[in-house]
Chains A and B, each alone.
Chain A
C-alpha cells in the first residue's frame, strides 16, 4: 500500500515537473529572443559606427544582458578568437550544439542564427547594417509569435503535466 502511494506520488511529481519544465521553456523563449534582438542591435552599432572587429563586437554587444544568450555570444567570440580558421557560421553551429537545452529557442530561431553567421563579417558596413536589420526584424516577428504562444500554452503545459500525472496514477491504480 505504502509502496503504491509512494509510486503514485513519484508519477505525479514527474508529470508536474515535465509540465512546469515545458511551461518554463515556453515562457523563456520570448525572453531569450528579446535578448537576442537586443544583442543584435548592439552588434549592429558596434559594427556600423565603430567598425569593431567581430569577436570584440560580439562580446561588447552582451553588455547589460545576462544568462544563456550572453553566454552564447561570448562563446562564439571565444571560438572565433581561439580558432582563426573558424568562420562565424561554424562557430554559431558549434555553440548552438553545445548550449542545446540552455537556450529556449526553436528551430526557426536557430535557422535565423545560422543564416546570420553565414553572412557575418563578409560584407561592408552598409550591407552588414542592412543585413542585421533584416535579422532583427525576423526575430522581432518571432518574438511576437513566441509571446502569443507563451500566453496560450504556459498554463496549459502546467495543467497538462499535473493532470497527465494524475491520469497515469488513476490508470495504474
Chain B
C-alpha cells in the first residue's frame, strides 16, 4: 500500500461521513495519489484539490464535468464529519475553533468556516459550521535536500532560516524534512545530526498522538506539542538545550520576542511564515522588525509552480546575496 492510501485509510476516512468515504474509496488511485485537500461545503459539490487544479466527483467516484453531476455535500455529511473530527467533543476544541482549524491525527489540518460569534472584540466561537477544508499532510523524505547545503554551517551549527511561502506551498512538509535531516544527520554533507527542539503549536510538524510524534523526525528531536510558540521556544531553550529550534507560522508579537531571545542565545531558529517573499512581509506588524534588523541568516522562498514545494529563492540575508534562484538559474552552494 502506498503512503497516500495508508494516510487516507488511517487518518482521513475515519473522520469523513460514511457517504463521502464510499465515494473516496471508488476514486482511481491516480487521483488519490495527487490529492492535497478535500473541500466540503453544505449544499455544494465536494471538491478535491490537487497542487494546481481541482475536480468535482460524482456519487460513484467518477470525475464530474459539471456541478449538476457532482455529489452535493449535505448538511448531514458535514455534521457527521465534524462530529467524527471532534470525536463528539466539540467543547474540547474550543481554542482551535476560535482559531478556525482543528488538527486531526496524522497532523492533517481541518479548516473551518461558518458563523463567527464575537464577544467584545474577541472571537468567542464559530457556530453553524458550513465549510470544511481537510488538508492532507504528507511526509516526503528528501524534499528539503536542496535546502540543506544552504542552511548547514560549520561546527554543527545551523543557520537561522525563515521559510516564506503563501498557503499550500509545502512549508510544513519542508520543515518536517529539515527537522528529520538535522536530527538524523546528513551523510551527503558529512553532517552528524544535532539536538532539535520543535515547538509544534498546531500539532502539524510532528503530528503527535499522546505527545509522541507519529511521523519520523529522527532520533534527536524533542517536541512540545500544542504549546504556544512564544512559551515553547523559551521552555525548550531552558530545559532541553537544543542546538536548533524549529517552529511553524510566526505571526504574533510574543512569537517575535521569544524568537529574538533564542537568536540572541546562540541557538539556531528555523521557522516559517505566510508571504510571497521577504519584501511582502517587511511591513507586517512584529515580523517586519525581524526582517528589517536581519535577524535570520537565510530566507527560503517557496512556490507552488510547477508543483507544491518548489524552491524559488534562497537568500543570504546578511550579505543580501541570492544563493539559489530557480528562475534566474543561480546556484551558489552555501
- Residues of A whose CB lies within 8 Å of any CB of B are 47, 51-55, 57, 80, 84-85, 87-88, 120-125, 128
Known A121-B86, A124-B125; judge A85-B17 contact (CB<8 A).
yes
CA–CA, A39 and B125, complex, Å:
28
Which B residues, 1 to 49, have Cβ-Cβ distances below 8 Å to chain A? 14-15, 17-18
Task: State whether the Cβ of B289 lies closer than 8 Å to any Cβ in chain A.
Answer: no
CA–CA, A71 and B80, complex, Å:
26
**B83 surroundings in chain A (CB, below 8 A):** 87, 121-122
CA–CA, A88 and B18, complex, Å:
17
Known A84-B15, A85-B80; judge A128-B88 contact (CB<8 A).
no
Contact B94 A51 (CB under 8 A): yes
Contact B88 A80 (CB under 8 A): yes
Known A84-B14, A85-B84; judge A53-B94 contact (CB<8 A).
no
Contact B80 A121 (CB under 8 A): no
Contact A47 B14 (CB under 8 A): no
**B17 surroundings in chain A (CB, below 8 A):** 85
Task: State whether the Cβ of B65 lies closer than 8 Å to any Cβ in chain A.
Answer: no
Task: State whether the Cβ of B320 lies closer than 8 Å to any Cβ in chain A.
Answer: no
Which B residues, 245 to 299, have Cβ-Cβ distances below 8 Å to chain A? none
Query: Whole-angstrom distance from the CB of B155 to the nearest CB of chain A?
Result: 45
Q: Which residue of B lies closest to A125 (CB)?
A: B91
Contact A54 B94 (CB under 8 A): no
Contact A54 B125 (CB under 8 A): no
Task: State whether the Cβ of B330 lies closer than 8 Å to any Cβ in chain A.
Answer: no
Contact A120 B88 (CB under 8 A): yes
Which B residues, 82 to 120, have Cβ-Cβ distances below 8 Å to chain A? 83-84, 86-92, 94, 97
Contact B90 A123 (CB under 8 A): yes
Q: Which residue of A lies closest to B97 (CB)?
A: A124
**A47 surroundings in chain B (CB, below 8 A):** 89, 91-92
Cβ contact of A55, chosen from B14, B84, B87, B90, cutoff 8 A = B87
Cβ contact of A121, chosen from B14, B15, B89, B97, cutoff 8 A = B89
CA–CA, A54 and B84, complex, Å:
12
A–B Cβ pairs within 8 angstroms, 24 of them? A47-B91, A51-B92, A53-B87, A53-B92, A54-B87, A54-B88, A54-B89, A54-B92, A55-B87, A57-B89, A80-B87, A84-B14, A85-B17, A85-B18, A85-B80, A87-B80, A88-B88, A120-B88, A121-B87, A121-B89, A121-B90, A124-B91, A124-B94, A124-B125
Contact B91 A128 (CB under 8 A): yes
- Chain B 117-128, CB-CB to A under 8 Å as 1, else 0, gives 000000011000
